Structure 1
């Protein structure tokens, strides 16, 4: 079968289409004919071997797919690796039926980015009605959904960051109250200005480095910052205990993989998200579709911040 396979770690240039043996489902696994695979920023770390879990070569990247099982079910699944291919296997507990009214793109936008946004707001920061929320990369897969969920759940003021005027406009269309430039220089002051001169209650942060530090400085007393990525590749300054104590502020980490170990954390949040989409209350953004032979371009576009929303990979071309 056709798949994108890497035989060395590196950037987008190592993503090559190859003929590989099709996977076989073992005990407790499900074989899926892939209609579309999801593309995540985490895939770029997987290809570089800079992710939280180390990869082994040769590798077919891609952690999520939507397609059909051998018995005809339409499903979305988390596969860990192997998604950039015509077929993939997944553990049965990581396979979820897709209801009518939810498109392939919707399902892929929700299974990782949607459940991440859900848990970032519900589980990690315990967003309360009336609180202000800062959402970095508001035009991205997680950010675009987090904006909508925060508004649905009663956030008082939603502030989004984005890297261009067009992206900032899109975050406003999704429901953000204000959109600002996410560049790290002077970010704290822009955050405070966007919130009427006040620090913010909740921050969803996935850039790292100076962006993390500036966001933390703009955090209100009893505020919560959750970090779920490091797109800049830079480390934030160490947080001394005293900096947390002053203001009674909280810094949390979130990695969706940890939800896999707790039955129901994915299924329950995904069920809620499917219902919101089917009811027209939540609108996933599908930002582009690429063929297998264009996987390198997809990664290049994502790294260069030329994309919005969810990116899809079509294994038929």
Structure 2
């Protein structure tokens, strides 16, 4: 079968299509015939050898897949790599049958990024009515879903977007205010102005000065959830500042929920139901051929895309 294989860390050019053996069945796992593989920043970190866990090369990236089982059932699944391929292995506990009213494109948007948005808001931040929340990269896969889920929870949403077109999209999803993220200048002041005061909750995935500005704009007893560091500039949380204002900074990595009984099952059910009702609208981004995986990474990394980015693995 065809798969993307990374032989060594590097830029997008290391993403090479190769013929590799099909995955052998393993107890407790499904073999999924993949139609779409989700593309995420985690894949870029994997390629650059900057992921949260050690990487052994050669490796095939891709942690979420949409496809079919041998009996023809449509499923979406999370995998521990191997998704950029015509077939992938996924544990049964993180494989979900897709309702008929949910399209393939919608389903793959909900698997990793939808689950991340859900648990960031509800499990980590425990967002509720009356909260205000800052959401970065709000036109992206996680951000666009987080905006909608936060509004459904009754929160005031201050979103960040990097272009006028992205800002228009984010407003259409329900954001109360949209800040220009193409510049970090005076970011704390702009957040405070947009919300007419500090925010009670915040998501953070950039690092560096954006981390600092976001923390500074957080209200006393506020809570910030960190789920990425796309700039590569990792900050240490300032303990004195946290103590002085009783602020909380939490890290989040979705795989830590893979073994939590019913956690992902229940959230996926809620995401499917909200999408079927039309209350949640996954933003479908560009789809690239397997041979163009390098372009997919380049476009995502340079923030040219909106919504869910995918790779079509079928010939």
User: TM-score band (shorter)?
Assistant: over 0.9
Which residues in structure 2 correspond to 1:161-240 (within 5 Å)? 161-182=160-181, 183-196=183-196, 198-236=197-235, 238-240=236-238
Distance in 2 (alpha carbons) for counterparts of 1:313 and 1:279: 27
Deviations 1:93-142 (A, max 9, x none): 12111111111111111111111111111111111201111001100100
Counterpart for residue 296 of structure 1: 294
Check conservation: 2:64, 2:83, Cα contact below 8 A.
yes
Distance in 2 (alpha carbons) for counterparts of 1:54 and 1:64: 19
Deviations 1:28-58 (A, max 9, x none): 1111111111111110001111100122111
Which residues in structure 2 correspond to 1:64-83 (within 5 Å)? 64-83=64-83
Which residues in structure 2 correspond to 1:72-221 (within 5 Å)? 72-155=72-155, 157-182=156-181, 183-196=183-196, 198-221=197-220
5+ long unaligned stretches in structure 1: none
Counterpart for residue 247 of structure 1: 245
Counterpart for residue 311 of structure 2: 313
Shift of 1:185: 2.2
5+ long unaligned stretches in structure 2: none
Counterpart for residue 32 of structure 2: 32
SS at match of 2:169: helix
How many residue pairs match? The answer is 314
Shift of 1:241: 2.3
Shift of 1:283: 0.1
Which residues in structure 2 correspond to 1:8-47 (within 5 Å)? 8-47=8-47
Shift of 1:239: 2.6
Distance in 2 (alpha carbons) for counterparts of 1:141 and 1:168: 14
SS at match of 1:261: coil
Shift of 1:61: 0.9
Distance in 1 (alpha carbons) for counterparts of 2:238 and 2:207: 17
Shift of 1:249: 1.0
Deviations 1:132-191 (A, max 9, x none): 110011001000000000111111x21100111111111111100110012322110110
Distance in 2 (alpha carbons) for counterparts of 1:139 and 1:123: 22
SS at match of 2:8: coil
RMSD (CA atoms): 0.9
Check conservation: 2:120, 2:225, Cα contact below 8 A.
yes
Shift of 1:231: 0.7
Deviations 1:213-269 (A, max 9, x none): 000000011111110000111122x33322111221111111101011211111110
Check conservation: 2:275, 2:281, Cα contact below 8 A.
yes
SS at match of 2:56: coil
Distance in 2 (alpha carbons) for counterparts of 1:259 and 1:290: 29
SS at match of 2:300: helix
Check conservation: 2:28, 2:92, Cα contact below 8 A.
yes
Distance in 2 (alpha carbons) for counterparts of 1:240 and 1:63: 32
Distance in 2 (alpha carbons) for counterparts of 1:301 and 1:73: 32
SS at match of 2:245: coil
Q: TM-score, normalised by structure 1?
A: 0.97
